[in-house]
């Protein structure tokens, strides 16, 4: 018979299956179509432990201070502007201090570099720009 590739976020574990199965809520696929397993965390979730298999238990809800595309891990969390975290493996996300409604320019929000120093998130505001 004719086979068609499973759509994104569905899978068929074996070739020749008559139907595709939907990935669980927290889990998606790393390919647009034709997946044989649900192997990454879905958009809106992130993989808690780097190197772990994506599952309902290892994919956590994205914090409101971050943006999680499909296949996000704790190390690749994209923080929203004006937030920072101390390292790549923490979800202890802090808001940048504000002075007069403008983010403190010494606050380097963002994901963090290998040495633990935070990196910039978002775009810095121009001097005198409204908040």
Q: How confident is the model at residue 121 (pLDDT cuts 50, 70, 90)?
A: very low
Structure tokens at 91: 């979800």
Buried b (16+ CB within 10 A) or exposed e, 15-38: eeeeebeebeebbbbeeeebbeeb
Rounded to whole angstroms, how far apart are CA atoms 65 and 73? Answer: 15
| Residue carrying structure tokens 């809800």 | 61
Are the CB atoms for 110 and 78 separated by under 8 Å? no
- 80-115 pLDDT, tens digit per residue, is 888 888 889 998 998 887 766 555 555 655 444 332
Parallel, antiparallel, or unpaired: how do β-strands 83-85 and 78-79 relate?
unpaired
Q: Which residues pair with 95 in a beta bridge?
A: 83
Share of the chain above pLDDT 70, in %: 74
Mean pLDDT of 29-58: 90
Q: pTM higher than 0.75 for the full model?
A: no
């Amino acid at each position: 018979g004719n086979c068609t590739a499973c759509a994104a976020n569905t899978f068929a574990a074996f070739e020749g299956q008559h139907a595709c199965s939907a990935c669980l809520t927290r889990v998606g696929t790393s390919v647009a179509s034709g997946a044989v397993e649900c192997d990454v965390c879905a958009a809106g979730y992130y993989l808690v432990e780097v190197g772990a298999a994506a599952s309902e238990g290892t994919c956590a809800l994205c914090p409101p201070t971050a943006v999680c595309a499909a296949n996000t891990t704790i190390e690749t969390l994209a923080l929203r502007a004006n937030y920072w975290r101390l390292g790549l493996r923490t979800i202890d996300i802090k808001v940048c201090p504000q002075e007069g409604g403008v983010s403190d320019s010494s606050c380097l929000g963002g994901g963090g570099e290998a040495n633990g120093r935070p990196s910039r998130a978002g775009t810095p505001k121009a001097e005198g720009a409204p908040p």
